[in-house]
Amino acid sequence: MKRTMVVSLGGNAILKHTEKGTAQEQFKNVYETSLYIIELIKEGYHIAITHGNGPQVGDILLAYYQAKDILPQMPLDVCVAQSQGMIGYMLQLSLKNILNKFQMDKSVVTLLTQTLVHQEDPQFDNPTKPIGPFYTALEATKLRKEREWIIVNDSGRGYRRVVPSPLPIGFVEECCIKTLFLEGTIVIASGGGGIPVIINEEGMIQGVEGVIDKDHAASYLASLIEAEILLILTDVERISLYYNTPHQRFIDKITASQAKKYLSEGHFPEGSMGPKVRSAINFLDKGGKKVIITSLEYAVDAVKGDAGTSITID
Ligand code: ADP
Ligand code: MG
């Protein structure tokens, strides 16, 4: 029996903060990321992959906005689908080229994933997630009226649209993900948290404008395929207590209860490390064995127990 793992890629794995986001830059990053992923496969793991899409979906929205006089604007769920396709393609191409190079006989497929959310999720009444371009006060007033968007002043930097970030409760394509994974395919699923959809009053699947946290979707995916390990790759080698203070202390190994305690003490902020630790706890509560949080470069060492932070059941 192969050991199973979900690899969750942070923003950095596809686009670095300092880059513009050209196709060339993203292909190069994704290729390097794929080299690390293949090392995990060589270690004997069967993996599924998920990834963030923040900068990419931001660029897609900006592109539509800049072209507003000549192109129709697409709703956010459609933009998330576009970003899943784009990033999935780059991963499929890179992974397949490397698999071929090492004569490894494996298929890779991106599965456009619709993530189910509750129509009654409290986030729909109180959206908090800023997305897309910054607007002027004048543009903001116009867009609020024309598009019924909620636009807020984003920490004095300008006006920005905020959308709900509801919790994932399922994937429409659950069966396909499981079947493909079980037969040995490397499945790329729930990219960017997945395309948010609800089941409406008529019982139909319907896209909604929102952004699902990719860490929460990763945890759901890992539970769904009953992965042993959830490997969350971000841009720090280990998580810390008292992060960014003179008292900072790295964490090597903790249990789910300790993680809960540190979370409640405020060591992991909501916009960054919080959702990762929360989704780690969730996955372990639902039967997962181990969560590892580390950076790409340390992925293989961390899996061997020589780097990163591991969180396990009590
Ligand atoms: P990703 O794209 O991988 O989701 P995020 O920026 O959302 O990346 O989260 C990772 C970031 O969390 C790190 O770069 C770090 O700056 C920040 N962070 C906040 N609190 C902590 C902590 N306690 N330990 C380590 N990193 C932390
Ligand atoms: Mg994040």
171 pLDDT higher than 80: yes
Q: Are strands 114-116 and 170-171 parallel, antiparallel or unpaired?
A: antiparallel
Amino acid at position 169, single letter:
I
Q: List ligand 1's pocket residues with C-beta within 6 A.
A: 10-12, 52, 234-236, 239-240, 243, 267-269, 272-273
Return the pLDDT at 85: 98
Mean pLDDT of 203-221: 97
Counting ligand 1 atoms within 8 A of each CB, the residue from 213, 273, 297 with the most, and so the one to mutate, is 273
Q: Output the CA 202–ligand 2 centroid distance in Å.
A: 34
6 pLDDT higher than 90: yes
Is 3-110+170-236+294-308 CATH 3.40.1160.10?
A: yes
Ligand lying closest to the C-alpha of residue 53: 1
Return the pLDDT at 157: 84
Return the pLDDT at 269: 95
DSSP structure class, residue 125: T
Return the pLDDT at 2: 78
3-state secondary structure of 44: coil
Q: Has 42 been annotated as catalytic?
A: no
Q: Given pLDDT bands bounded at 50, 70 and 90, which one contains residue 7?
A: very high
Mean pLDDT of 259-264: 98
1 pLDDT higher than 80: no
E-strand stretches of the chain: 3-9, 45-51, 108-111, 114-116, 129-135, 151-153, 159-163, 170-171, 186-189, 195-199, 205-207, 229-234, 240-241, 249-250, 253-255, 290-295, 309-312
Return the pLDDT at 237: 97
Catalytic residue selected from 129, 178, 260, 289: 129
Q: Has 253 been annotated as catalytic?
A: no
For residue 135, what are the CA distances in angstroms to 27, 80, 143?
30, 21, 9
First to last CA, the chain: 25
Q: Are strands 114-116 and 195-199 parallel, antiparallel or unpaired?
A: parallel
- Closest ligand 1 atom, CA of 234? 3
Return the pLDDT at 101: 98
pTM of the model: 0.96
Q: Has 12 been annotated as catalytic?
A: yes
The rounded distance, in Å, linking the Cα atoms of 219 and 231 is: 10
Query: Where are the domains positioned within the chain?
Result: 3-110+170-236+294-308
The rounded distance, in Å, linking the Cα atoms of 62 and 259 is: 38
Q: Output the CA 183–ligand 2 centroid distance in Å.
A: 31
Give the closest residue (by CA) to ligand 1 atom 27.
273
Mean pLDDT of 260-270: 97
Q: Given pLDDT bands bounded at 50, 70 and 90, which one contains residue 222?
A: very high
Mean pLDDT of 129-154: 92
Other CB atoms within 10 Å distance of the CB of residue 314? 9
Give the closest residue (by CA) to ligand 1 atom 4.
10
Q: Given pLDDT bands bounded at 50, 70 and 90, which one contains residue 133?
A: confident
Q: Taking the alpha carbons of 207, 211, 212, 214 in that order, is the dihedral positive or negative?
A: positive
Counting ligand 1 atoms within 8 A of each CB, the residue from 19, 236, 238, 276 with the most, and so the one to mutate, is 236
Angle between helices 214-224 and 273-285 (to 10 degrees): 20
Q: Output the CA 238–ligand 1 centroid distance in Å.
A: 10
DSSP H or E stretch at residue 287: none
Catalytic residue selected from 214, 282, 288, 290: 214
Q: Has 142 been annotated as catalytic?
A: no
Mean pLDDT of 29-44: 98
232 pLDDT higher than 90: yes
- Closest ligand 1 atom, CA of 271? 7
Q: Has 11 been annotated as catalytic?
A: yes
